[in-house]
Amino acid sequence: MRRIKCLLIIALMLVFNVTTNAQEKKNFELSDIYEVPTFQTKGVKGMNPMRNGTTYGTIENGEFNIYEYKTGKKSGTLFRFSELIPEGQNEAIRPYNYTLSDDESKVLFLTNVNYIYRHSFTADYYVYDLASKTLKPLSANGSQRLATFSPDATKVAFMRDNNLFIKDLASGNETQFTDDGLYNHIINGAPDWVYEEEFSFSLGYFWSPDSKKIAFYKFDESKVKEFQMEEFIGLEPAYPDWYSFKYPKAGDDNSVVEVYVYDLESGKTTKMDTGEETDIYLPRMKWTKNENVLAIQRLNRHQNHLEILAADATTGETHVFYDETNPYYIDITDDWTFLDDGKSFLMTSERSGYNHIYLCRLDGSESKALTSGDWDVTRIYGFDGKEIYFQAAKNSPIERQIYAVNMKGSMRTIINKVGTNNARFNNSFKYLININSTATQPYLYELYTNKGKLMRVLEDNHELLERLNAYNISEKQFIKISDPAFTMPDGSTVEIDGWQILPPDFDASKKYPVLIYVYGGPGHQTVMNQWDHSDWDWMQLLAQRGIISVSINNRGSGAQGQEFKKMTYLELGKYETEDMITLAKYMAKQPYVNPDKIAIYGWSYGGFMAANGITKGADVISTAVSVAPVTNWRFYDNVYTERYMRTPQENPTGYDDNSPVSNTALIKGNYLLCHGSGDDNVHYQNAMELIKSMIANNVQFDLMIYPNKNHGIYGGYEEFGDGECRMHLFTKIDNFLFRHLLEK
């Protein structure tokens, strides 16, 4: 009897297992993407290389622990968050972020962060002394910005109310060394809106290596026109508020930018001579290895002539030691490094037609190319005295690998793994943490030596892969598309990289609708062999509903040389739109595609492209979704726009011929326009002007506005309790797409 019972149990277990294995896999839901982070990857947080070059610090379980690179063993604890109790208080602060001093004797913590724009913010800073284990507020006179230790860790500089201050940590004295800062007029030590957004920096002052001087930017934005945004603040007060800030649109005046050096010992401030012409940009500055010489980059307004000035920090006198011109424009990066010999520096340039590394001399003599070939260097990590470590798209435009090159130009491969590789080197460059991913492999964190030897795996995201096994997953298939329309300025044709995601139950005998995913902006790539975030998740959801997603690296995208990237010069939207139309026609010819159900979706520059798709591509694209689109480049900031278009006064047809505002009469299909009214980047004005044009041409459309939301359209509204605008936005987009692509 017992044997029969056992056999019955085994039989039931077998039936249960078969039933379980045969169960249908789960479908993706919007809530998995935007409410509960079901598919969120794990990272390795706080991998802070320590100055000894053999250890790193990481945050775990409320502690900052120290580990050996070589063995992986824990060697100590630098501090515990429970210890971060300000003097005279009983509770520990909750830090938003931290910075170690160069000598690792102190830590700057910041709390109560309030964002100004996308990168800049005010905060309350605290200084923690690791020896005495005391935590003191940096200043009692109001919140601060951009606090940094001096190299010798005896002082902290910071910004408040557009002025600069220094706190002496031994005496506690606070010294203000600028006094003309004024909102919407003068900024000391930080960039204005357009520099922050388009030259990608928020810190506008720099300690000299000997801690005796501070070089800083002064922005006079008094002549820059103001942009006003209406803020809807609830039932009381009944009147909306207004926020006004300086935003220079294409063709308009910029801030007048100057560079000064403050000498801490003498208290003297000296202006650096950057030339008589003020309608220019000073997008970077950096101290050289000479403690009295400051290097300042000077870029003309057309952004096709870059000079680097050597400035005497005591006298302000300058001379040019680097001079480069380009027939199109020059991209500003942080890939410039001064060498310890005091005579040389490293610089990347596209002068050969591809982005490569050059060894240059401070005396202005001829530079030497250290890398060469028909491929682009995409990032420099640093120099250890013998070799330069860098990332490049050498194997493929849609992949990135890690390399090293010496001063003689001898190059070697460090990480050659398939996919996209990003490196975090330690201070001595003996070790690196490589972050690898592919279209099917989430982020893989591995520790290597600089010779490419794998030491150990830190995180492989196996839990996410196991979780995804329970879901219907459609593989991202990489494709190459050839078409006579993909021509270069010299008349040659190119193959375009792309991908497509088919439904998980794909049946080649059926006809499917298609969604073109587009960004399209200069240098940007939507096709990369790497792990994607929410866009990939969302396209899995679309695939489950029977919608094919597809994307290409259009002409104008990056990692394929200068001519490919810069052929859109003076005509943003022309060639990119032609490529999207060519893609739509290519898909329409596929036997498994319904040619009457082709849509396009994009955000920001992609929103501009989607609007162009439903206008100029109306014969083949029937449905479009634009989120936060530029609708005429006259409405966008001058640094970005003029880099690619020059001014509207010089190039009016370039601005208007490819503007959706000029072409709404061409719309035949279904169009959804979404925008945040608090978008400080791509202003709500863009949507309003497009709406006016569509009304004038009697074009029907769908519209969704998110009050007070910025370019990212995140978060909810406090007056209505918890909420998530991204969930609302994509519910709106999904319903729109399902209605027009799936319903007969």
Do β-strands 106-115 and 97-100 pair in parallel, antiparallel, or remain unpaired? Answer: antiparallel
Sheet of 401-406: strand order equals 377-383, 387-392, 401-406, 411-415
In the three-class reduction of DSSP (H, G, I as helix; E, B as strand; rest coil), residue 611 is classed as helix
Residue 481 and residue 500: Cα distance in Å, rounded? 11
CA distances from 714 to 122, 220, 228, 558, 636 (A): 20, 32, 21, 28, 22
CA triple 45-46-49, angle to 5 deg: 130
Residue 665 Cα to chain centre, angstroms: 35
- Element housing 623 (H / E): strand 623-627
Assign residue 453 a region (left: φ > 0; alpha: ψ between -120 and 50; beta: otherwise): beta
How many other C-beta atoms lie within 10 A of the C-beta of residue 612?
A: 31
Q: For 378, how many CA atoms within 13 A lie in the half-sphere containing its CB?
A: 24
Q: Which residues contact 15 (CB under 8 A, 6 or more apart)?
A: none
Active-site residue, selected from the candidate residues 143, 679, 680, 740: 679
Helix, strand, coil share (%) of the chain residues, nearest 5: 20, 35, 45
| Cβ 158 vs Cβ 138: under 8 Å | yes
Q: Which residues of 363-381 are buried (b: 16+ CB within 10 A; e: fewer)?
A: eeeebeebbeeebbbbbbb
Distance CA 615, CA 605 (A): 15
CB atoms within 10 A of CB 76: 10
Tokens at residue 127, please? Answer: 């200084």
DSSP string of 508-540? TTS-EEEEEE----TT--S--SS---HHHHHHH
Lookup result for tokens 């900052």: 64
Distance, in Å, from the CA atom of 732 to the CA atom of 518, rounded to the nearest integer, reads 19
3-state secondary structure of 167: strand
Angle between helices 574-589 and 605-615 (to 10 degrees): 60
Tell me the C-alpha distance between 444 and 438, whole Å.
9
Q: Is 592 helix (H, G, I), strand (E, B) or coil?
A: coil
Q: How far is 207 from 626, CA to CA, in rounded Å?
A: 44
The answer to whether 281 touches 301, Cβ cutoff 8 Å, is: yes
Residue 298 pairs in a beta bridge with 307
Tokens of 665: 């009469």
Q: Which of 208, 367, 551, 604 is catalytic?
A: 604
Structure tokens at 577: 């739109």
Q: List the end-to-end C-alpha distance of the chain, in Å, as a whole number.
A: 61
711 flagged as catalytic: yes
Instruction: Please name the amino acid found at residue 586.
Output: Y
Q: With contact defined as beta carbons under 8 Å apart, do 190 and 146 qualify? A: yes
DSSP run (H or E) holding 709 = none
743 is written with which tokens?
Answer: 């319903």
**Do 282 and 274 form a contact (C-beta atoms < 8 A)?**
yes
Residues 6+ apart with CB under 8 A from 353: 561, 562, 563
Catalytic residue among 356, 675, 683, 711: 711
Residues 6+ apart with CB under 8 A from 171: none
What amino acid positions are annotated as catalytic residues?
604, 679, 711
